[in-house]
Amino acid sequence: MSYALFPVPRKSQFSEKVLDFGQAEWIRVDPALSSAFKKHSITFAGEVSSAFSSSLKVTAGNPEQGQVFLSISLVSDGIEPQGYRLAASTEGVTLQAADEAGAFYGLQTLWQLSAQTGAKPPAFTITDHADFPQRGFMLDISRCKVPTLETLFQYVDVLASLKINQFQLYTEHTFAFSAHEVVWHDASPMTSEEMLVLDAYCRERYVQLVPNLNSFGHFERWLRHPEYMHLAESPDGFEYLWGGRSPYGSTLRPNEQSLKFLASLYEEFLPNFSSRLFNVGCDETWELGQGWSKELCEEKGSPRVYLEFLLKIHELVTAHDRQMMFWGDIILREPELVEELPRDVIALEWGYEADHPFDERTQHFAQSQIPFYVCPGTSSWNALTGRTENCLGNLANAARNGLKHGAVGFLNTDWGDNGHHQYLPISYIGILAGAAYSWCFESNEDVSVVDGLNNLVFEDKTGVLGELFFELGKVLELIPVRPINSTLFNYLLFWDMEEHFERIPVSSLQECLQRFNELEGRISDARPEASDGELIKAELENAIAMARHGAHRALAAQDETMDRTPLRHELQHIISRHEQLWLQRNRNGGLRESSGRLREALEPLLE
């Protein structure tokens, strides 16, 4: 006998014996548990009561009359932190945990089981705890898309149900700093009040809202404005190492003036968060040494200059009684510098391809006793459809090698590069797989993400919708061309249809189009009962439409006689739907930029 539990618990045993609690009346909670947990217990009672003869009641006392269905208590007899032990016998169900978070996670597992068994579960025992103490999800809110507060609550609810305990909002310019409206006025930013509300919402669900503010590189949204150009390493722009030019600087000058500026931002930003962690970013400082610090970097080397400025940022962070997290890509250019890092920093080793060398790179931090997280991603950005196989491979690679080398955390990332054109449900495969792998990799390595999607997120009893998203992310495998960190469909959607590109076999493109049509034809079979079920189906339809349009552009480019008018109409419809769908979950700020990239793609179709 087996049951669909997600993430799969570390150890579980189910008996053939079926118990009957249909006449039970009570859920008893340890009086020492917080009011927030007791509220979750009441919510749980309301969700499962339909299976009982009468509605379950919650008490912190010992009822003299009536059968107790569930007893919840905190114990200290060997259960791991955040762990729990569930057991069902003729006496009732017991949930024991080492702490409140563990009790909450046990309640999530019992809720999933109760949805399948009602008031008649088998006798069972479940013993569970997490592989990684810190299991996080980072959402990019700086590449156009800033979700509404309601959508952020939805994220938190899903994350909490998956036993994720950290949430970060990747921030460059999308916080409403009181003195810097020129930077955020078109971005519909998060306000301080909203951060306070979201922080409280997270805390009630045992999730830390970790402040995240990039503090060295990726400052282009600031440095393009005249008011801030004096802080730029290269005020007049710079050449990318891979070719092309940015008209704006993206990296702060590593000097005291920049530190004073950062200090002022931290003073306004950090007090809105209860977490003692702080992710300062500091990745991809591309032009460091090309401008203001050129002579300094020639003298010391750019990695040394980077480290010295990073250490000064560390001083600012510790002054706020926070523990600094930072992306580890730049420091690993000179791995011997890792030894000079303070032992209280947390390094974030990121990489988004399935074969990223987590094994090799994390050893540098482990050997120097620097705490570190492994940071894979959902493989949804620059993809439109997702990249199912790469997503699962990347997440598993991170979990496997994070465990091997002693990572203290697992931070799953969801970026929005180049207009954030992927829809939220495209990221769910990665969110669920990352949650499962980081909770207990051994028991979840082969878990069915499709079942998790249908049972926990889409509430689709037909099983169709989860399968459609999973299979959509595999269509890219029908084409021999595989761009890094993207899909070919995304590239083709924005392709000018003139720039040289390797010709793609027509047969491969036609095979993709056939597959897109097959998947689209099955959407009507899905029956999601989630509150946003119809929106999810509409988002899936437009994701397919965008990817299909990319394939159509490739075919048109190979046939100069093809009439491009239908393609223009197709893209115009996609743009209209994209703008409508965007506003269902996100704020207006950033939509013009995202939609503008799609409108630019119309130009080759007007000829």
The H-assigned helical ranges of 9-133 are 35-48, 100-117
- Cα–Cα nearest to 486, from 577, 550, 412: 550
Mean pLDDT of the chain: 97
- Model pLDDT, residue 564: 92
Three-class SS state of 311: helix
Q: Where is the domain boundary, 93, 128, 163?
A: 128
Query: Residue 229: how many CB atoms within 10 A of its CB?
Result: 15
Q: Are residues 143 and 94 in the same domain?
A: no
pLDDT at 560 over 90: no
Phi, psi angle pair for 92, to nearest 5°: 125, -175
**Exposed / middle / buried, residue 498 (Cβ in 10 Å: 0-12, 13-18, 19+):** exposed
pTM of the predicted model over 0.75: yes
Q: Are residues 329 and 203 in the same domain?
A: yes
Round to whole Å and give the CA distance between 311 and 318. Answer: 10
pLDDT at 170 over 70: yes
Q: Are residues 147 and 121 in the same domain?
A: no
Q: Are residues 43 and 163 in the same domain?
A: no
Cross-strand bridge partners of residue 377: 413
Q: Are residues 399 and 502 in the same domain?
A: no
Alpha-carbon separation of residue 409 from 9, 132, 438 (angstroms): 19, 5, 8
Place of tokens 């459809």: 385
Domain assignment present for 428: yes
- Model pLDDT, residue 562: 86
Q: Are residues 393 and 475 in the same domain?
A: no
Q: Are residues 279 and 400 in the same domain?
A: yes
What residue numbers bound the domain in which 66 lies? 11-128
Domain assignment present for 456: no
Structural domain total, the chain: 3
pLDDT tens for each residue of 298-326 = 999 999 999 999 999 999 999 999 999 99
Residues 211, 192: contact at Cβ < 8 Å? no
Domain assignment present for 452: no
Domain assignment present for 419: yes
Pairing of strands 11-18, 122-128: antiparallel
- Cα–Cα nearest to 501, from 490, 492, 510: 492
Q: Are residues 432 and 501 in the same domain?
A: no
Domain assignment present for 519: yes
Distance of CA 470 to the CA centre of its chain: 17
- Model pLDDT, residue 481: 87
Pairing of strands 92-97, 372-375: unpaired
Mean pLDDT of 431-437: 98
Mean pLDDT of 509-522: 98
pLDDT tens for each residue of 369-428 = 999 999 999 999 999 999 999 999 999 999 999 999 999 999 999 999 999 999 999 999
CATH code, domain with 215: 3.20.20.80
Judge if the upstream peptide bond of residue 7 is cis by omega within 30 degrees of 0: yes
Percent of all residues in the chain with a pLDDT value above 90, rounded to a whole number:
95
pLDDT tens for each residue of 241-252 = 888 899 999 999
Phi, psi angle pair for 442, to nearest 5°: -60, -40
pLDDT tens for each residue of 390-407 = 999 999 999 999 999 999
Q: Are residues 151 and 93 in the same domain?
A: no
Domain assignment present for 217: yes
Q: Are residues 37 and 178 in the same domain?
A: no
- Model pLDDT, residue 145: 98
- Model pLDDT, residue 501: 78
Q: Are residues 42 and 179 in the same domain?
A: no
Give the pLDDT band of residue 76 (cuts 50, 70, 90).
Answer: confident
- Model pLDDT, residue 1: 66
Give the pLDDT band of residue 502 (cuts 50, 70, 90).
Answer: confident
- Model pLDDT, residue 561: 85
Mean pLDDT of 203-213: 98
Q: Where is the domain boundary, 65, 93, 128?
A: 128
Q: Are residues 150 and 256 in the same domain?
A: yes
